C-alpha cells in the first residue's frame, strides 16, 4: 500500500529518496556507491541490477524475444516493442516543440529540438547522446 499511501519506510541516506522495500533501497544505493555486482560473462561490463544484465546479454546473443504482431520484427526489450508499434499506429505521443515532428520516445523529441536549433541558428544546445545522430541525419538531407 506504500504506493497509494505514499509511505516510504526505507529512505536513502544520500539523496533522501524513499522506498517501500528495503531491497529496493539496497539496489538504489548502487547509484551512489557505483557498485556493479552483476557482470557480463562475455565482455565483463558490470550492472547494478540483474535485469539490466539480462537485457545486455541480448547484445551478445542476438536474442529478440519481443515480436511485433503486425510485421514480425523482433526486439530485445518490451519497451522497444511499445515504441516500435508507433510505426504501425502512427501515434506519436511526444513531439518536438520547435517543428512539431512526432516521436515514440520523449528523449528523441528533446534531441530533435536541439538539433533543429543548431542546424537553423548555428548555436549548439545541450549535447545529448541523440543530438549528434540526429544532426548527422539532418545534414545528410
Going residue by residue through the chain, which has 141 residues, state the pLDDT in tens, using 9 for 90 and above: 455 667 788 999 999 999 989 999 999 999 899 999 999 999 999 999 999 999 899 989 999 999 999 999 999 888 888 888 887 887 777 777 767 777 766 655 444 444 444 444 444 444 544 444 444 444 444
Instruction: Identify whether residues 98 and 84 lie together within a single domain.
Output: no
Instruction: Tell me the CATH number at 78.
Output: 3.30.160.60
According to DSSP, residue 9 is labeled -
The residue count of the chain comes to 141
Please report the DSSP string for 117-133 in residue order: HHHHHS---S--TTHHH
Query: Could you give the number of structural domains in the chain?
Result: 2
Same domain, 98 and 85: no
Considering the domain architecture, whether residues 136 and 99 belong to the same structural domain is answered as: yes
Q: Give the residue numbers spanning the domain of 74.
A: 63-91
The confidence score (pLDDT) of residue 2 equals: 54
Q: Are residues 78 and 113 in the same domain?
A: no
Residue 104 is given by DSSP the state: S
**3-class DSSP state of 101:** coil
**Same domain? 103 vs 135:** yes
At residue 91, the pLDDT reads: 74
Is residue 134 located within the same domain as residue 102? yes
In this prediction the pTM is 0.53
For residue 108, count CB atoms less than 10 angstroms from its CB and return exposed for 0-12, middle for 13-18, buried for 19 or more. buried
Instruction: Please indicate, yes or no, whether residues 67 and 86 belong to a single structural domain of this protein.
Output: yes
10 domain residue, yes or no: no
Residue 112 included in any domain = yes
User: Are residue 83 and residue 108 in the same domain, yes or no?
Assistant: no
Amino acid at each position: 500500500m506504500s504506493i497509494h499511501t505514499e509511505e516510504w519506510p526505507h529512505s536513502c541516506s544520500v539523496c533522501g529518496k524513499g522506498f517501500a522495500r528495503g531491497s529496493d533501497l539496497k539496489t538504489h544505493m548502487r547509484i551512489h556507491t557505483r557498485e556493479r555486482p552483476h557482470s557480463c560473462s562475455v565482455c565483463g561490463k558490470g550492472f547494478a541490477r540483474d535485469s539490466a544484465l539480462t537485457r545486455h546479454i541480448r547484445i551478445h546473443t542476438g536474442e529478440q524475444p519481443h515480436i511485433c504482431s503486425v510485421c514480425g520484427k523482433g526486439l530485445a526489450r518490451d519497451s522497444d516493442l511499445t515504441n516500435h508499434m508507433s510505426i504501425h499506429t502512427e501515434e506519436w505521443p511526444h513531439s518536438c516543440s520547435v517543428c512539431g515532428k512526432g516521436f515514440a520516445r520523449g528523449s528523441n523529441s528533446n534531441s530533435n529540438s536541439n538539433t533543429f536549433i543548431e542546424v537553423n541558428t548555428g548555436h549548439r544546445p545541450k549535447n545529448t547522446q541523440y543530438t549528434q545522430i540526429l544532426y548527422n541525419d539532418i545534414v545528410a538531407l
